Structure 1
């Protein structure tokens, strides 16, 4: 190539580089803007959508920045993309991981726009600051052996547990990277130090306390330190995990969904703003004729309903809602300036649950709506979930299987159904008692919930039998997942008084084949489970494919 040709090429390349640099002036602030939205979003699906958006933006940067000579930007983008991937793939995504991802993106953008990033090398960014995407738990325990056993068991459940032998080390770790939860095994005066530590935090950590005393004063001190669980030694670690699961579910639960129907748009907007600032999801509606459309799309838990509206009264709307069985769990609160007690009672008798008189203070509105929303969700959970495990009941998980079969037929993607049964469970009840048996059932439910994705469904099918539905998952992938669960479960140690014991499980897997019905899927999974039992238990088998006529492994 002649010098002239080379110069022309270099000129064209430089023009492309300059154009990419101009693109960065727009794309980097947009990336930062999405990250800021993530920081202020609590709803689970919205957060996931934002992380997906961030991951795609980082992926594009990682793939193109190096090509145009922005090597450090590409390397940094790749590291942040991996952090986003870890969060998306985690069985229990950590809220703390997102908390640290946002400032990292903010720093990336600032350094890239200032040019400082291009003066750095990859050696400055070895990834040591990256977080495990699973829920991180800090354990304060002086006894090394007891702490190690606790860490191993909780790790089997999917938690990332770090043990600290003294309060000073724990304090340093929390200052650098707060965990999602804290377990304190109290020996001396650690609880007072932990209480002081909690008071210095902007948001106190979910706390579980272990002590050798069970007296009133000890439990009172634990409650004052912010404890949400209290255990005595020797610790039943599976019960400890169940309490930890409950704390984290409560901390990461989705915001309550509130629908406001009022013909006064300005007033509805004010109520909406007040409730949104209290971390609730709110939608307003001024046209009652759109009621059914919005109810189906938004699926509210609480309905704030004006009594007097043109064309259709609040009680009439309430009665229309109550005609639909699927909305019987929705709490209806009348919100009106009506002060006549007889008219209020008449409205309540027509399908209402409570009556709030306007004007109402912001705090009173928040308290009333929050308490009703909390009760509505608890009622909905109680009606659809098994009381021991918190999983879907028999009828609900069967319905979920049918839904996934229909979805698989529409999109052509595979879905797997897994049937799981505890081995020799009657012997557990007979030898160790039904309380120990319940503990085993609850532990397996928690373990499966930890290891499965949020899009998967899990139900208690019978006494010690479970069914899992895994959309967009082949039988081979399902086998890998449940064989890992099988291994982790068999490593758990259960306690019954002074005795310890282990339990194993067997499982059978079937998958949609383009024409299978829900009942056929369940039957095939049950047949594969029978094969697992027949071949010696403590194993996972895949159902035989009818069209191939072969036995799967």
Structure 2
């Protein structure tokens, strides 16, 4: 990411190009203004140029010029909508260029300097450090064992002061029991937001006031006793996932070269991937290649309008969830509403400060990613759904064939799961499913793909992983899952799983489907006694 001096240098270069263009724009406005008294047909062209100038001038720091251009644009629009032209108004518009040029010569300070938003740092693949401030020794021990099984590094604390003195944590779990406990009133937990790690609160009370107190302390999760540990771990994972992910992708559709370059530079400097389109004929091709999470669309362009292009995008069901944000100097509420009703999602009125641009894009992109992710994922486990994991498998298999790199697939099934539901109830069965999904997600790599194939069955796609490596990895997860202790109605029990593993390696590319081979290996693992792995060569491990 470029540093601030470099960014400012680049912004200055873009502004210099805009300043040169302004001279030509004002010369054109002078010519159009002079034509008005003899040729009123020049009024629409004058209005359009004033509109474009009103939108871009303020963004580049020419605030007064932009405000006056907008006022003149509105006067021109009023004349176009009138039943007959007002000679006095036309005379005033003939002086448009003369009114604007002096303002260009004023050295205005910029209304907004570019601001950097923290786009997050690359993950260093270390174990997450989870602090425990839990007085109940039994609960603390059980929680430490569970979190350790999921791959977290657990650090217990005896006092809030010890938390404050500890190295940085990724999350902190606090037990506020018994009722009347004033732990959250300790000065350590009265710090400003951002100075403490994400807090997860455990309480023996499930009341509005206890939840409100947790929120005021900065909690991101609230759990009542007895604690659903798999659900707590899932909340941890969800919070960590929201801090990660690749950079947002934003597509800018605008014919204004300098303005587009400025938007692109400001967004890119904040860690956002940006692509641009100025030719509408290339729009759909760019959409499919770039797959944007937000589209920034100029409202008025020479040969087409923003709403028209937005509707073209919406004709494809693949893009229904992508937010389209209009960028325009349009201030008329009715016209803004008309544009939004056709296909848009938001409206930013030019001139646009860098902070407004960044805030809007981040909010829209983050929300779009959350919605898209939620629709592709199973509601119970948060894993990819049946169709989505099959699609990921096809993509990884094709990639592996092109690169001649290995890829493995594991089909995983919880042993005797029907007995769990029959003996302890479906709610407890859901906990078992969530626990295994959380453990798989924690212990597999980020490049791996994981989905709930159906019921208690899971599929893991492991790119670059031989069958031997996949077997070793799944075996360690199997042992950890065996050690997990579940409870229901005062009864404790353990669960296990069986798995079938198939792979394509080097030149040994089989014609059969990887998933079918893994399924057959899973069947052999079950026939061999369950709680074991079996490769597609039929050899139990």
TM-score (norm 2): 0.71
**Relative to 1, partners in 2 of residues 1:163 and 1:329: Cα closer, same or farther, differing over 3 Å?**
same
- What is the aligned counterpart of 1:516 among 510, 516, 523? 510
* The 10-residue stretch of structure 1 (224-233 or 473-482) with the greater mean CA deviation from structure 2: 224-233
Query: Structure 2 CA distance, aligned partners of 1:341 and 1:134?
Result: 52
1:154 aligns with 2:147: yes
Map 1:184-195 to 2 at 5 A. 184-187=174-177, 188-193=181-186
Query: Structure 2 CA distance, aligned partners of 1:403 and 1:283?
Result: 24
1:226 aligns with 2:218: yes
3-state DSSP class of the match of 1:252? coil
- Verify the 8 A CA contact 2:533 2:540 in the aligned structure 1: no
Q: Could you say which structure has the larger radius of gyration?
A: 2
- What is the aligned counterpart of 2:394 among 397, 402, 415? 402
Shift of 1:311: 3.8
Shift of 1:331: 1.3
Query: Structure 1 CA distance, aligned partners of 2:193 and 2:345?
Result: 39
Shift of 1:215: 2.7
Map 1:294-443 to 2 at 5 A. 294-340=286-332, 343-360=335-352, 365-443=357-435
3-state DSSP class of the match of 1:149? helix
Shift of 1:385: 1.2
Map 1:166-315 to 2 at 5 A. 166-173=159-166, 177-187=167-177, 188-193=181-186, 196-197=188-189, 199=191, 202-272=194-264, 275=267, 280-292=272-284, 294-315=286-307
CA displacement 1:246-277 (0-9 Å, x = unmatched) = 22222334443322222223433454566567
**Relative to 1, partners in 2 of residues 1:343 and 1:218: Cα closer, same or farther, differing over 3 Å?**
closer
Q: Name the structure 2 match of 1:486.
A: 478
Structure 2 unaligned blocks of 5 or more: 1-115
CA displacement 1:22-63 (0-9 Å, x = unmatched) = xxxxxxxxxxxxxxxxx998467xx37xxxxxxxxxxxxxxx
Shift of 1:360: 4.8
Q: Name the structure 1 match of 2:40.
A: none
Shift of 1:183: 0.8
1:137 aligns with 2:130: yes
Query: Structure 2 CA distance, aligned partners of 1:252 and 1:192?
Result: 31
**Relative to 1, partners in 2 of residues 1:339 and 1:171: Cα closer, same or farther, differing over 3 Å?**
closer
CA displacement 1:447-496 (0-9 Å, x = unmatched) = 10111111111111111101111011111110111111111111112232
CA displacement 1:85-110 (0-9 Å, x = unmatched) = xx3xxxxx2xxxxxxxxxxxxxxxxx
Query: Structure 2 CA distance, aligned partners of 1:201 and 1:335?
Result: 33
**Relative to 1, partners in 2 of residues 1:314 and 1:157: Cα closer, same or farther, differing over 3 Å?**
same
TM-score (norm 1): 0.70
3-state DSSP class of the match of 1:378? helix
Structure 1 unaligned blocks of 5 or more: 1-38, 49-86, 88-92, 94-132, 545-549
Q: Name the structure 2 match of 1:104.
A: none
Shift of 1:134: 0.9
Q: Name the structure 2 match of 1:108.
A: none
CA displacement 1:323-357 (0-9 Å, x = unmatched) = 44433321112222234455445534543333343
Query: Structure 2 CA distance, aligned partners of 1:515 and 1:444?
Result: 31
User: Could you say which structure has the greater relative contact order, defined with CA pairs below 8 angstroms and 6 or more residues apart?
Assistant: 2
Q: Name the structure 1 match of 2:3.
A: none
3-state DSSP class of the match of 2:394? helix
1:531 aligns with 2:524: yes
- Verify the 8 A CA contact 2:412 2:458 in the aligned structure 1: yes
CA displacement 1:113-138 (0-9 Å, x = unmatched) = xxxxxxxxxxxxxxxxxxxx111111
Query: Structure 2 CA distance, aligned partners of 1:319 and 1:235?
Result: 49
3-state DSSP class of the match of 1:338? coil
Q: Name the structure 1 match of 2:30.
A: none
- Verify the 8 A CA contact 1:418 1:467 in the aligned structure 2: yes
**Relative to 1, partners in 2 of residues 1:407 and 1:277: Cα closer, same or farther, differing over 3 Å?**
closer
**Relative to 1, partners in 2 of residues 1:196 and 1:511: Cα closer, same or farther, differing over 3 Å?**
same
Root mean square deviation of aligned Cα: 2.8
Query: Structure 2 CA distance, aligned partners of 1:350 and 1:343?
Result: 11
Equivalenced residue count is 421
CA displacement 1:527-548 (0-9 Å, x = unmatched) = 111111111111111112xxxx
